[in-house]
């Protein structure tokens, strides 16, 4: 369960981002606590993806402060963000289709052994099998090739990889956008299970049904401006739609 008294793992204060003369994000202030799922909602062009890219080090903010566990940090690159314990699952998943599941889980961070630095496939396979079982990601085996898996299974592997490496925060960009009803339910169950791991989750979703099923709080953006933050249990879809549209 979310601990209301827990200190935020992520704090954004007055985040502003301009591209030339175009303001993409204007004075966004938001925090995410350990074990909390915060949803980021808004129409296309609201600034959601830009904000995710700022947190993940793809873009530097024009102004404002990012804090992790209370300490100001400079998110200079996506590599730096990963070093800070932040992982991202984008819509395109960034999986290697020709590789087996276990190699994807350790993609770019393969485990090796001995003076010749040989791949430690045994340990990687065992760790992959442990994690997919723990997250209830239903795949044939850790040896299965990514291209042979369904969309929901691929998404589950991408989330499992982020879970394995994230120490602080997982960012999810439309995790079920291309999935059917059954696969969406499976992925949502995996996302919900992240709360028990005490990792903060920030999720972008166009589905308000999904937002209300998964999130603890909802942050609404409109045309780069932060309209407001609501506790999910204390609001309803009509209020959120009104905040999104301005009507």
Dig out the tokens for 184 from the structure. 């969406």
Provide the domain count of the chain.
2
Does the structure show a pLDDT above 80 at 67?
Answer: yes
Does the structure show a pLDDT above 80 at 150?
Answer: yes
pLDDT of 87-119, one tens digit each?
A: 998 877 688 999 999 999 998 899 999 899 999
Does the structure show a pLDDT above 90 at 177?
Answer: no
pTM listed for this prediction = 0.88
pLDDT of 231-247, one tens digit each?
A: 999 999 999 999 999 88
Given 165, 191, 214, which residue is the final one in a domain? 165
155 plus 172 within the same structural domain: no
Does the structure show a pLDDT above 70 at 6?
Answer: yes
Bigger pLDDT: 214 or 178? 214
Is residue 156 within 8 A of residue 137, CB to CB? The reply is: yes
**Residue given tokens 């630095």 in the structure block:** 117
- The pLDDT value recorded for residue 235 is 97
- The pLDDT value recorded for residue 184 is 87
111 plus 59 within the same structural domain: no
User: Residue 4: pLDDT band by 50, 70, 90 thresholds?
Assistant: low
Task: Tell me, yes or no, whether 215 lies in a domain.
Answer: yes
72 plus 51 within the same structural domain: yes
- The pLDDT value recorded for residue 2 is 46
53 plus 146 within the same structural domain: no
Q: Provide the b/e sequence for 209-247 (b: ≥16 CB within 10 Å).
A: ebbbbbbbbbbbbbebebbeebebeebeeeebeebbeee
The pLDDT > 90 percentage for the chain reads 66
Backbone φ and ψ for 112, nearest 5 degrees, come out as -130, 165
Residue-number span of the structural domain to which 115 is assigned: 96-165
Dig out the tokens for 237 from the structure. 């879809």
């Amino acid at each position: 369960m979310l601990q209301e008294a827990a200190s935020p793992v992520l704090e954004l204060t007055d985040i502003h981002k301009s591209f030339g003369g175009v303001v993409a994000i204007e004075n966004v202030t938001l925090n995410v606590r350990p074990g909390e799922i915060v949803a980021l909602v808004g129409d296309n062009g609201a600034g959601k993806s830009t904000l995710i890219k700022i947190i993940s080090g793809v873009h530097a903010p024009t102004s404002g402060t990012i804090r992790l566990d209370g300490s100001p940090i400079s998110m200079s690159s996506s590599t730096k963000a990963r070093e800070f314990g932040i992982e991202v699952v984008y819509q395109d998943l960034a999986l290697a289709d020709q590789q087996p599941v276990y190699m994807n889980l350790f993609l770019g961070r393969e485990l090796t052994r001995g003076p010749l630095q040989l791949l430690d496939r045994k340990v990687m396979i065992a760790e992959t099998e442990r994690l997919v079982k723990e997250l209830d990601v239903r795949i044939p085996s850790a040896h299965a090739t990514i291209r042979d898996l369904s969309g929901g299974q691929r998404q589950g592997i991408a989330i499992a990889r982020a879970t394995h490496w994230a120490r602080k925060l997982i960012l999810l960009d439309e995790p079920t956008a291309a999935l059917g009803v059954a696969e969406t339910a499976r992925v949502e169950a995996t996302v919900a299970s992240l709360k028990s791991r005490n990792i903060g989750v920030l999720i972008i979703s166009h589905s308000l049904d999904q937002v209300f099923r998964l999130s603890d709080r909802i942050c609404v953006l409109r045309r780069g401006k932060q309209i407001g933050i609501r506790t999910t249990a204390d609001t309803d879809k009509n209020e959120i739609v009104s905040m999104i549209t301005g009507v």
